[in-house]
Structure 1
Amino acid sequence: MKYFVIALVGVLFAFPPVFQFGAVAQSNIPEGTEKIFIDGKEYYLHKVQQGEGLYRISVSYGVSQKEILEVNPSAAFGLKLGQVLKVPVIKGRNSTEAQLKSEEYIYHTVEKGQTAYYIAKRYRVDLQDIYDNNPGSDQQLLLGAFIKIPKDKVRHINYTISDDGYYVHKVEPKETLYGIAKKYRLDINDILKYNEGLESGVLTAGSFIRVPVDVIEERDLAPKEKVGGTDDALYIYHKIKEGETLYSIAESYNAKPHDVIIANKSINANDLPNGYLVRIPKASIKHGKKENPFEDAVLKNHKIKKREQLYDVADKYDIPSDIIEKVNASAGIDLVKWKKGMVIKVPTKKWVEQYYESELQVNLEDSEVNKKGVLPFEKMECDLYDYSLTRPSIKVALMLPFNVEATRRMNFTEEELNGEMIQTPNENRRLSMRSKVFVEFYQGVLLALETLKQEGVNVDLFVYDTAPDSLKLKEILSKPELEHVDLIIGPAYSSNLKYVSDFSKQHEIPMVYPLSTLNKQMDHNPLLFQANPSDTLMFDIMARRVIQSSRGNRLVMIRTENEDNEFEQRLSQLIRDKVYWESFKNGEVPDFVEYKFKQDDLASLERMLDKNKENTVLIPSIEEAQVNRIVTTVKGAADKTKANVTLWGLPDWMKYNTINPEDIHQLNGRIFSYYAVDYNDSINDERIMAYRHWFKTEPIAISPFFQAASAQSNMSRYSLWGHDVSYYFISALRDYGTNFPHCLLHHKPHTIQSKLNFLRVSNWGGFYNHGLFVLKFSPDFNLEIEEVQ
């Protein structure tokens, strides 16, 4: 008997309930329930009523089933009418009825291996909130104990319905697009239409896809014969009757029992409350009787071990769990009765592969070819296009505010002669400062076109001056030739972005937004490329690289006292989360110090540094004055303590001329940068020499080392960027044709100052550039350029 009770408690550990008392408050402690003290401990005395189960009692009293079984071992063998149970009184949880009725908390039952930090991350609350509401939780969490999560502290993130009315589905490991479409009773093309990023044939676990609600709702999703109950777009709702089980209800609707159980996790399958509603997923309902393909499956027996679940068996044999379910259903084995020692059937992997091959062939034969002539979700082949066969002319529209009229006015002098105004050209030609950046970019485009010409590529370049305002841009967009270009580069300003983006989406023309980082159209246009990297989209990559470099070191993060700086707050929080998550995941205690910098507080910083190991120091700020003061103080602390320090900084630092470059070298500076020119590269040297010859000026990176950017400079800052952007996209059109957006993972052209790498911001949105370098400054004044992978 002892063994049986222990086994049952083990099962309860495997399936601990998560209570939200605000959601299950129909049952509370019955009025007039008596209390008793036994061996100094306080208990409620509860008399079992007709139809009552252990789960319902545990919910009523705000305790777990495990906690009831620990003081009532005989309850493991079933409850009898009139039986009296002892229910522990737990201070702060069920000591008063008013507390049970409270909607202030979510109650979480601690599972094996869970920490307070893990629970805080799961419910998106601060770790201190867990400690404050659960005394002793900062020392140890007991398996099966309840943790109170204050609802008002939860940071809500809703992935269910997007603002524009889509279901947003998170892709799980091993999930297929066919399976997702089947779940929502849609065609694959219905999903591809609203998630253009999936046309490459790649479905990534953890990504999100949009499921069109209007398509779901306009179809008749109900089965031909409805047993009873109400329904909506995704579910039929069945009212529970006396004697029914989830398995019998699923059978009556011809639905998969496993899917019905998963859809009703909050209900105890062994104690169904009469009159309650259960959900029948419409996608799980089988229509008509088909020939059973699983009857002839090659099977082997598997004996269920203690605490082993279906997903454990699926993982062990590398067989999808739904196949195991179908095979056992065909063999007459009810997996709903899952228990230790039960023998189930598992098909061989070879048979499963043959089954999927036959299923895929049937699906492809039944599928319609989409408008691009590609079978739905067939993986895009990126090596089939051959530009050399016909060498078509690639048409590119360049839209920038050159402000030609402003420059023209600067270079002509008006004077009156015989009553007429005569314009005389000035001897020394000048360029409007407002035009300089865009002319430099254009010169870089011309340099790229010269290279492409030598490589045998034909390009028709249409150049448009979008200055002075949006009216001029609308006039340009109405030109008939624009509907037939292969690529748009521009506009320069965010105020004009929506007009061009709408045009791009309407005519299915890829567009590159080349200069600004302010972009509100990324989620609305799957053909929009954000070329200039945005810091906030790069936080995760930067944080991961810093933490990777700090393994085995002391990591010191030095914050400013500016609590209102959202940039610094977000990056600091991300670093903090990643440090603790990586450490706890590996069973380690992180050597991490966070310090708010106070001016002239050199002594405190000295104490932060460890003299016996490497120190990785990160300053997550882009405020120039603050950064300069902190760097100077870190240098002083490192000199005084003789500690080994590696200093990490952000891309904006490269344009701060107040920073002493010598300090960066002495501190083994590691500065993130989006731009870096390798002058030892022979191809770079050749193209830079050509630029000097053509335009009689020196091209430099947009962010030269520790120099303030200046339009007054005689050097060309944006020409290499113009070269890289235009060469990257025009060569992509040459190599992959109009399908190039789906093939960019393979596209690695030679660029001069930036490694352009593009990722989709979502499966339905555009692309952002995540190309990033680390500039490594060493004490011997050498510089190494590392591309962040």
Structure 2
Amino acid sequence: MKINKHIKELNESKLHASNFDFFMASKLTDILISKLTLVFLLSIILNYKQLKNKYLMNCFFRSILFFCFLIGSVGIANSQNLSVELSKNKVVVGGETYFMHLVKEKQTLFSISKAYGVELSLIMRVNRKSDPNVKVGEVLRIPVLKSIALDDPSISEKNNDLFEYYIVKEGDTLYSISQKYGVDIKTIIQNNPGLNTNLVLGSVVRIPKSLQQKKEELHVVVPKPDKKYFYYVIKKGDTEYSISKQFFMKLRKFRKLNPSVKKKTLKIGSWVRIPRYLVPEEYFKIPEVKKDTISDLSNVMDTMMEVKPKPEYLAQNKIRIGLFLPLYLETNDTINQIRTYKDTIPVVLEREPRLIYSKSRNFIRFYQGVLAAIDSIEKEGISVDLHVFDTERSVERVQQIISRITYTDFDYFIGPVYQNTFSPVAKLAQQKGIPIISPLSSQNQELKTNPFVFQLNTSVESVCDKMSDYVCDDFDMKNIIVVHPERYKHLKEYKVVEDVERNLFESGKYWLNDQISYKKISFEEYGLYGIERILCDSCENVIILPINNQPLVENIITNLNVLSQRFAIRLVGFSKWQRFNSLDPELLYHLNFTMFSPYFVDYKSSWVNSFITNYRDKYLCEPNDFSYSGYDICTYFSKGISKFGKDFMEHINDMDRNMLLQSNYYFKRVNAFGGFENNGFHFLNYSRDFKIRHLITEPEKRNEEIDYIQKAFNY
């Protein structure tokens, strides 16, 4: 260890010395050039009268241009050779890991991309940049290239006319490899004796090349770069736009240089012309080709033959959970004690049957759901160590708990449920890198600043996004009506109106399609008859209520029910309305009520009925929403950590959601430095035939990537 330390110090001293030498050399060069330029200009002024000959004048002016170019090239060389210190700070966004690089003085986007070994175009795309300019103090996300660690150059260089050699990476299957190379699974197995369907990470698979692929490789010859052009080889995923963007070309110019692109689509392995002056120097470097030997190939093949399929293993067999709930145990003991006196001696008797303190009732159901999940998990060979802490609603009590568990290792925390008690535990979780789950709150204050927070209850803003996507999915033959109170723009629910109008007007769809109708009306001002006047007889009327105020919602729904007998109405609203006790559920069926909710229990499911039966037998009571929530949280996160270990947060959405009873988990990071919010929804429709249509919505991954980039630095 001491030797390594001395070597490291020696290397650092050499690095500083080389940087100092380069700095002094660049300064001396600047001084020398500036003095030569001054002498040259003075000589021009003194000999101006002798420069009447046009030829001599041209020579002098060309000399001036040469000196200007020389000074500029020295400045560029100095800026490009500036050392870039690599960042050690990382953040995980949507399963992808990024370095967080702080731009310092004299650093350029090209020098940063060169230092990290990441393509300039990729850095620009991740950080939503249209040009390669950066500012001092700007924070950039630099993708961490995971594939470099698994790819062995000695393997990829063994590709020949007959076979390609592929190293198995995480998540690969025989089917995915066969689809990637266009070779059927049977052929792959025949060319890899001993290969099993369970692929081993890091093993080598030999892929036979198809005849068509061999012909294409033989016919396509990429020209060498010349004085005018660089010949870029088309890769998978390349388009005209992406290539022109990568080299900062206009699409028109790209097509003009490559007229054949107009006539046919881009083929992988073919080439296009790029002006040489637009191409960075690293593109012209020829990689060193290592010598290949037959013995090396046989060693690789022997290794492949020795690999035996292993059964699926767990990264962790033991899970430690910290459960923070306001159980009010002391209060429950107090209310169940009856104090009497016998001959002046106090006697304490236990109340029969026992009473349960009202504030702890639902959280006891939650705790029972967690216990039911642990019973199920332990049957699969996973050991669970559960630590339960009674937080009540006291910050002082939570601080005492934290002082006792500071040096205890946990895999994840559930709770606390209240914001004032959640914040201290969240700080401890952030310090120790422990995932912490907010099970009930939809507006957790730690979500935007703590990367380890998981908010399971979806915010109103996210629900509004989903509602607007649903309404705007197909505008044709729809009469969209927003029924609102007199003052509503300050409400969170107003976001659904903003999103719908953005989709309608900013995109131009409203002006191009005559079959779209959009109106807004104040119920307090115009009432039932005003709504009736703007309803359509010949198309569906999609009515949006951007409110959650119970008296107002019930009043509007009651009035709309009168119109539902004459008009085709689809009411779009919020899941909170289901909990309005004074609202007749029959009205929701009449109005074809449609909503998105993160929770739904399908009582027709055998999985749900089995849970209910076991719960009744063990706890002699009925499970409620808190019971289902406790079961889902403990099951999902415990199985995820047991499968992926410390990498669980990078695979948070790779778990099987069919194990859940009422939830639909799909997590999105809210910004580059914040935690995860659940964006998994159940689509529910109370149809006019008195049936509830249920559908588990799938996330739109295409929009998700754009959403991450937009929220990258919202903190």
Amino acid corresponding to residue 594 of structure 1 in structure 2: K
1:350 aligns with 2:269: yes
1:476 positional shift: 1.2
CA, structure 1 residues 651+299, in 2 after alignment: closer, same or farther (shift >3 Å)?
A: farther
1:772 aligns with 2:698: no
Structure 1: distance between partners of 2:82 and 2:352? 72
Match of 2:668 among 759, 782, 785: 759
Matches within 5 A, 1:299-698: 315-316=239-240, 319=243, 321-323=245-247, 350=269, 388=313, 392-417=317-342, 421-480=346-405, 483-548=408-473, 551-563=476-488, 565-584=490-509, 587-589=512-514, 590-598=516-524, 601-639=527-565, 642-698=566-622
Amino acid corresponding to residue 617 of structure 2 in structure 1: H
Structure 2: distance between partners of 1:186 and 1:496? 43
1:609 positional shift: 1.1
CA, structure 1 residues 553+740, in 2 after alignment: closer, same or farther (shift >3 Å)?
A: same
Q: Which residue is equivalent to 2:650?
A: 742
Structure 1: distance between partners of 2:413 and 2:108? 46
1:392 positional shift: 2.2
Deviations 1:306-330 (A, max 9, x none): xxxxxxxx952752544577xxxxx
Alignment: residue pair count: 480
Gapped regions of structure 1 (runs ≥ 5) = 1-181, 204-208, 224-232, 235-260, 266-277, 284-293, 303-313, 326-334, 364-383, 700-715
CA, structure 1 residues 349+299, in 2 after alignment: closer, same or farther (shift >3 Å)?
A: farther
CA, structure 1 residues 669+614, in 2 after alignment: closer, same or farther (shift >3 Å)?
A: same
Gapped regions of structure 2 (runs ≥ 5) = 1-79, 114-129, 141-221, 231-237, 273-278, 289-308, 699-715
Structure 2: distance between partners of 1:350 and 1:585? 43
1:588 positional shift: 2.5
CA, structure 1 residues 358+406, in 2 after alignment: closer, same or farther (shift >3 Å)?
A: farther
Structure 1: distance between partners of 2:310 and 2:284? 30
Structure 1: distance between partners of 2:82 and 2:583? 57
1:387 positional shift: 7.5
Structure 2: distance between partners of 1:552 and 1:717? 39
Structure 1: distance between partners of 2:475 and 2:455? 31
Matches within 5 A, 1:224-373: 296-297=224-225, 315-316=239-240, 319=243, 321-323=245-247, 350=269
CA, structure 1 residues 262+774, in 2 after alignment: closer, same or farther (shift >3 Å)?
A: closer
Structure 1: distance between partners of 2:511 and 2:239? 22
Structure 2: distance between partners of 1:471 and 1:386? 48
CA, structure 1 residues 415+767, in 2 after alignment: closer, same or farther (shift >3 Å)?
A: same
Deviations 1:672-717 (A, max 9, x none): 3232111111111111111111122222xxxxxxxxxxxxxxxx34
1:201 aligns with 2:91: no
Q: Which residue is equivalent to 1:726?
A: 634
1:444 positional shift: 0.6
1:516 positional shift: 2.1
Counterpart contact for 1:385–1:735, Cα < 8 Å: no
Structure 1: distance between partners of 2:648 and 2:437? 13
**Counterpart of 2:680 in 1: which secondary structure?**
coil
1:560 positional shift: 1.3
Deviations 1:138-197 (A, max 9, x none): xxxxxxxxxxxxxxxxxxxxxxxxxxxxxxxxxxxxxxxxxxxx999856644xx25333
Counterpart contact for 2:481–2:542, Cα < 8 Å: yes
**Counterpart of 1:747 in 2: which secondary structure?**
coil
1:775 positional shift: 1.9
1:408 positional shift: 0.4
Deviations 1:324-379 (A, max 9, x none): 77xxxxxxxxx9x98997899999963889x999999999xxxxxxxxxxxxxxxx
Structure 2: distance between partners of 1:454 and 1:556? 53
Provide the alpha-carbon RMSD of the alignment: 4.5
CA, structure 1 residues 698+359, in 2 after alignment: closer, same or farther (shift >3 Å)?
A: farther
1:488 positional shift: 0.6
**Counterpart of 2:323 in 1: which secondary structure?**
strand
Deviations 1:608-664 (A, max 9, x none): 11111121111111111111121122222232xx22111111111111123222221
Counterpart contact for 1:606–1:637, Cα < 8 Å: yes
Structure 1: distance between partners of 2:310 and 2:510? 45
CA, structure 1 residues 499+301, in 2 after alignment: closer, same or farther (shift >3 Å)?
A: same
Structure 1: distance between partners of 2:382 and 2:408? 21
1:576 positional shift: 1.9
Structure 2: distance between partners of 1:516 and 1:769? 12
Counterpart contact for 1:210–1:764, Cα < 8 Å: no
Structure 2: distance between partners of 1:766 and 1:388? 29
Deviations 1:29-72 (A, max 9, x none): xxxxxxxxxxxxxxxxxxxxxxxxxxxxxxxxxxxxxxxxxxxx
Amino acid corresponding to residue 394 of structure 1 in structure 2: I
Structure 1: distance between partners of 2:582 and 2:323? 37
Counterpart contact for 1:673–1:772, Cα < 8 Å: yes
CA, structure 1 residues 348+718, in 2 after alignment: closer, same or farther (shift >3 Å)?
A: closer
1:511 positional shift: 0.8
Structure 1: distance between partners of 2:507 and 2:535? 22
CA, structure 1 residues 644+509, in 2 after alignment: closer, same or farther (shift >3 Å)?
A: same
Counterpart contact for 2:483–2:520, Cα < 8 Å: yes
Structure 1: distance between partners of 2:505 and 2:369? 45
Q: Which residue is equivalent to 1:74?
A: none
Amino acid corresponding to residue 774 of structure 1 in structure 2: F
Structure 1: distance between partners of 2:260 and 2:687? 63
CA, structure 1 residues 759+264, in 2 after alignment: closer, same or farther (shift >3 Å)?
A: closer
The structure in which a higher percent of residues are helix is 2
1:737 positional shift: 1.5
Structure 2: distance between partners of 1:359 and 1:460? 58
CA, structure 1 residues 432+578, in 2 after alignment: closer, same or farther (shift >3 Å)?
A: same
Matches within 5 A, 1:88-127: none
Q: Which residue is equivalent to 2:218?
A: none
Sequence identity percentage: 23
Q: Which residue is equivalent to 1:88?
A: none
Structure 2: distance between partners of 1:297 and 1:585? 50
CA, structure 1 residues 768+482, in 2 after alignment: closer, same or farther (shift >3 Å)?
A: farther
Deviations 1:743-786 (A, max 9, x none): 12221231111212211101221001112222211222111212
TM-score normalised by structure 1 residue count: 0.54
Structure 2: distance between partners of 1:728 and 1:361? 49
Structure 2: distance between partners of 1:508 and 1:385? 31
Deviations 1:425-453 (A, max 9, x none): 11210111111121111011011111112
**Counterpart of 1:727 in 2: which secondary structure?**
helix
Structure 2: distance between partners of 1:772 and 1:448? 22
1:542 positional shift: 1.9
Structure 2: distance between partners of 1:614 and 1:183? 65
1:494 positional shift: 0.2
Larger mean Cα displacement after TM superposition, 340-349 or 496-505: 340-349
